[in-house]
Amino acid sequence: MRVSSVTIGAPDPRALARFYERLLGWSVVNEEGPQQGAPPEDGWAQLKPLGARVGEPAALNFEYEAQYVRPVWPSVAGQQHITAHLDIAVEDLDAASAWAVEAGATLAECQPQDDVRVMLDPAGHPFCLFLVDDAAYWDTETSSVGM
């Protein structure tokens, strides 16, 4: 078995895919607009890193959720909570945080760790930027986990 993608529900999936395209430098490789009679935000989009092979690394899919409710983070009893979030390794936490804001994210009010920045995408999904200062991690020739 191999995980091929992660799917994220959104009120406007194609717009959210464009946000992550800017943020990560990946490409929207597939998208579909609304079905007949559906609202203009209906549809889906798929994002992959440039040059990615099928299944490696996993794609990000975004699909329309008609009843989407923006999650609350940190969780609050009785309110919509996150069900998953993305962890994104970065070499420079301050620069990556500034880039995320420029791309359209916002900094979450609660920041529980010094070496992690919790950000919110335009639909309110939290994602974490975390500092990895190990050069071997970023060496794509010797590491299977480099970007």
| SS3 readout for the chain | CCCCEEEEEECCHHHHHHHHHHHHCCEEEEEECCCCCCCCCCCEEEEECCCCECCECCEEEEEECCCCCCCCCCCCCCCCCCCCCEEEEECCHHHHHHHHHHHCCEECCCCCCCCEEEEECCCCCEEEEEECCCHHHHCCCCCCCCC
Shared domain for 78 and 20, answered yes or no, is no
Tell me what pLDDT residue 137 has. 80
Same domain, 46 and 76: no
- More confident of the two residues 108 and 5: 108
Q: What is the mean pLDDT of the chain?
A: 90
Q: What percent of the chain has pLDDT over 70?
A: 91
Q: Check whether residue 5 and residue 63 sit in a common domain.
A: yes
28 has pLDDT over 60: yes
Residues 54 and 126 in one domain: no
pTM over 0.75: yes
If asked whether residues 39 and 106 sit together in one domain, one would say no
Distance CA 111, CA 43 (A): 33
Please give the residue range of the domain that contains residue 90.
70-147
Same domain, 144 and 86: yes
Amino acid 142: pLDDT? 44
Residues 73-103 have pLDDT tens digits of 998 999 998 888 999 999 999 999 999 999 9
Number of domains in the chain: 2
* One domain, residues 126 and 58: no
